[in-house]
A and B are shown apart, each in its own frame.
Chain A
């Protein structure tokens, strides 16, 4: 049953890739609908297959081909792979439903067909990365995923900003492939096998470089600081369904890679866990601090993805540490927290990206300072965004809270059991994790408040109208997922065979709803219903203007001041004078700019060094025949000398 469903799903996806590519020249809505229907259909089949594997627990293997005796293309779906397949399938299905109407609003005629095809290729590549049972097919489909996503990012290539984002993304994603490739070569050199299976000779000196290379490769793809810079560029540049897929799903494929190699290949040591935990904590804290400063709605969501991937890495790192300290039950709890947070983040982040796509479509701007008042104009979209914001801010009883709670409980419970050094480490992480969680609540109060509440701050927002039905249905399924996964989390884990020390969120949900209804009902029947609509007090001004509202900048100002050491600014003051003694001022520029610390102190120096090195090397290739003959001569002499030496 499972192999049939899997092959059928993949076949349908291939149809979804080829059909729109064949019709690329003409702008045909029917082809797009066909292609997206293929996406939705294959998502259903994939979800069914992975649910069967998840509940049965028996891994399924599909043998595709064996080009050489050492290298085989084999796919295998065990519970871990099935979990991530379910994640990919669930999100892609909803994105496909949303895209049917969203793509109609995009410009670019026939290119929209190509976009559908490339999106299906991207989804196919992600599914096959997760299903890969050999390192060769893993890296092959990893690269296919990277390449197809590059085309998706470059959709609006006419825009200079998009081209810059695309090139940035391309370089980062190729770096990621490079490191994954290096890691896999090191693994092969150390073990002599391309299978993703436990290392028997754990004493090989190549194991550590293999882990470090793989960890770097996966971190680049997952957006861990300091490799995070591509996210705030690539996400705003691409169409919203693509951002949803990249942020919701592609980052999780990197998480999958890390978990797969940690669990199945390596025998992780204690300090590997500390490394992952530290990387996760730094990403979580800095990610959300950067998100608070963003006023591009999609840029803000991208920064918040950095934060959430950081939380997932905290869970993974903690689990490695606890495993190394021989506390398997808590390690499992922490790893389950990381896995559950992957799924939850996929759900609420794609929900937020899709509903912000609707908002951007309705207001024609990505700047939250130009939105406002949309709750009354777009009631359904605002409700959906609200559910996403509440889930990502970890409010009970929604799903984001449950996964953070799992990591919190693992930390709280392990503190008494570990030695002092780990205790201190855990306390520091715990404090920073709590800070992250509270800052993300502040960030999403700001986002929801600025976008949806109060008065509209631009004429476009004033005239915004609700989007069409399919653009509500897609995110609505995701929102329902957020609520169901939160409320029934305890029951779901029991069903999967994990008895976790968690509160029953169903009970909490019933209590919350029951109390709200009681309070509301009690007041409804006991107090008068008289109400009146009267203008907000404007301090004596005759009419309230949008300009007097609190802006998003103003909202995050206290946090920016408190964390001013993180937001480094640069003061610029250039003055020109008429005379040599600088007395008569002619003109000048002054400004305070935010320093992009990582970009200015890490990325650009590396890029400049690379440019200098290549410029130095390029001098050897001067196009002059005599020089090349000289090279040949020198090489021949060198070979003769070398051979004479070794003989």
Chain B
């Protein structure tokens, strides 16, 4: 592990942490606009997190060590996954960092701890959330792996870094296959980050909530860590989508000015994607839980279609 890579790790992790809350507010803002409301300030999520970090933590008497450690581990797993997806500057991969399967399983690690946190306090809402989260994760997993296999097939590499380098080097990377893959990746983004029509992050209705159910019993800094982890996950998956489909501005050699410009460019592209997610969410209603597998089957068919095009082209 050389110095350049350490610098990349620090920059990428800090950049993700700094940007992530902004996108959450932006989505809320766009949703508010579509509903004819003013909406919160773009910096509201930062204020919320800061408030939560200052508040006292309340534990249930039933809860075990799981509740105490899971929030830190969840955020750590997501942050390590964030190292796998360069936002602006792509160094040479070191020691298999960037392996797309490992990336997927780091999310599984975070999900495992989050689901256990949901069960820990003994609240029926937490159990409901965990159960739904693990069930949906199981059903979306084949789709994700097929999309990732298709990506590995298209870019002839298992490493996200190599994929970004290839996509950044080509003048016009948007091919029909990539557009199809982008649709599948977008559905994965919506599912993995628990947004409408999968889950409604705004409500605390027991009939609908998944992600909010799992973290219902958390408070103070534990809640802040989980919220931050969810925000970082959104940013990381958006970065995967953006840098594969619209990689312009991505730099592969290190220079302070270049990296800053690339980060700024990413910030804008991400903001646009957040806006699209906001409009997408406003334009549809939450689906019934047991109707969701059919949505995933749709994503599955898109990715299979991609593969068929690629395989037999």
A residues adjacent to B (C-beta < 8 A) = 373, 375-376, 379, 382, 390, 393-396, 401, 405, 408-409, 411-413, 415-416, 420, 423, 427, 430-435, 437-439, 441-442, 445-446, 448-450, 452-455, 490, 501-504, 507-508, 511-512, 515-516, 518-520, 523, 526-528, 530-539, 544, 546, 548-550, 554-559, 561-562
Contacts and interface: CB of A to CB of B under 8 A. Distances in A.
Contact of B105 (A401, A427, A490, A537): A401
B156 A416 contact: yes
A561 B131 CA distance: 12
Interface in B130-164: 130-132, 134-146, 148-149, 152-153, 156, 158
Contact of B145 (A430, A455, A530, A532): A430
B128 interface: yes
A532 B56 CA distance: 7
A396 B105 contact: yes
B66 interface: yes
Contacts of B106: 396
Contacts of A534: 58-61
A123 to B, nearest CB: 34
B92 interface: no
Interface stretch (B32-40, B74-82, B259-267): B74-82
B141 A527 contact: no
Given A423-B311, A434-B145, A445-B130, A523 B221 contact: yes
13 contacts: A376-B64, A412-B158, A420-B311, A423-B311, A431-B300, A445-B112, A449-B127, A453-B122, A530-B57, A534-B61, A537-B123, A554-B128, A561-B290
Nearest to B145: A434
Contacts of A503: 95-97, 99, 102
Given A531-B58, A533-B60, A558 B135 contact: yes
B59 A533 contact: yes
B76 A516 contact: yes
A557 B112 CA distance: 18
A21 B161 CA distance: 63
B86 interface: no
A449 B74 CA distance: 17
Given A412-B149, A533-B58, A375 B101 contact: no
A413 B105 CA distance: 18
Interface string B51-89: 001101111111011100000110111011001000000
Nearest to B159: A503
Interface of B: 1, 13, 53-54, 56-62, 64-66, 72-73, 75-77, 79-80, 83, 94-97, 99, 101-102, 105-106, 108-109, 111-112, 115-116, 119-124, 126-128, 130-132, 134-146, 148-149, 152-153, 156, 158, 216-217, 220-221, 225, 289-290, 293, 300, 304, 307, 311-312
Contacts of B141: 434-435, 437-438
Contacts of A561: 290
A390 B220 CA distance: 27
Given A527-B54, A528-B56, A544-B62, A454 B134 contact: no
Contacts of A533: 58-61
A87 to B, nearest CB: 24
A531 B102 contact: no
Contact of A527 (B53, B102, B111, B145): B53
A555 B58 contact: no
B212 to A, nearest CB: 14
A559 B137 CA distance: 11
Given A519-B75, A534-B60, A427 B304 contact: yes
Given A453-B116, A532-B59, A430 B146 contact: yes
B62 A373 contact: yes
A497 to B, nearest CB: 19
A535 B115 contact: no
Nearest to A502: B96
A375 B65 contact: yes
Nearest to B104: A434
A433 B134 CA distance: 16
Contact of B158 (A409, A434, A450): A409
Contacts of B128: 550, 554
Contacts of A441: 108, 111-112, 134, 137-138
A409 B56 CA distance: 45
Contacts of B109: 395-396, 512
A530 B290 CA distance: 42
B105 A375 contact: no
Nearest to B123: A536
Contacts of B123: 536-538, 544, 549
A405 B101 CA distance: 7
5 pairs of A and B residues whose beta carbons are closest in the complex: A550-B127, A503-B96, A454-B122, A449-B119, A438-B141
B102 A434 contact: no
Nearest to A534: B58
A4 B145 CA distance: 49
Given A442-B138, A528-B54, A562-B139, A448 B116 contact: yes
A511 B64 contact: no
A55 B62 CA distance: 50
Contacts of B72: 516, 519-520, 523
Main SS at interface, chain B:
helix
Nearest to B110: A395
B108 A536 contact: no
Nearest to A412: B152
Contacts of B145: 408, 430-431, 433-434
Nearest to A515: B76
Contact of B53 (A409, A439, A516, A523): A523
A446 B116 CA distance: 8
A526 B54 CA distance: 9
A416 B152 CA distance: 9
B210 to A, nearest CB: 10
A393 B112 contact: yes
B131 A549 contact: no
A550 B60 contact: no
A403 B153 CA distance: 22
B307 A511 contact: no
Given A442-B135, A536-B217, A549-B122, 15 more contacts: A412-B152, A435-B142, A441-B111, A446-B131, A449-B115, A449-B119, A453-B66, A503-B97, A512-B76, A518-B76, A519-B72, A523-B53, A537-B123, A549-B124, A558-B131
Given A449-B116, A535-B60, A512 B146 contact: no
B77 A512 contact: yes
Given A453-B119, A549-B124, A413 B158 contact: yes
B126 A375 contact: no
B113 to A, nearest CB: 9
Contacts of A528: 54, 56
A556 B290 CA distance: 14
A394 B59 contact: no
A531 B220 contact: yes
B122 A536 contact: yes
Given A432-B142, A503-B95, A537-B123, A531 B59 contact: yes
A602 B231 CA distance: 51
Nearest to A506: B95
Contacts of A558: 131-132, 135-136, 289-290
B146 A431 contact: yes
Contacts of B96: 490, 502-504, 507-508
Contacts of A518: 76
Contacts of A527: 53-54, 221
Nearest to A449: B119
A550 B135 CA distance: 15
B44 to A, nearest CB: 20
A555 B131 contact: yes
Contacts of B152: 412, 415
A445 B1 CA distance: 35
A520 B153 CA distance: 39
Contacts of A538: 123
A494 B171 CA distance: 39
B177 to A, nearest CB: 14
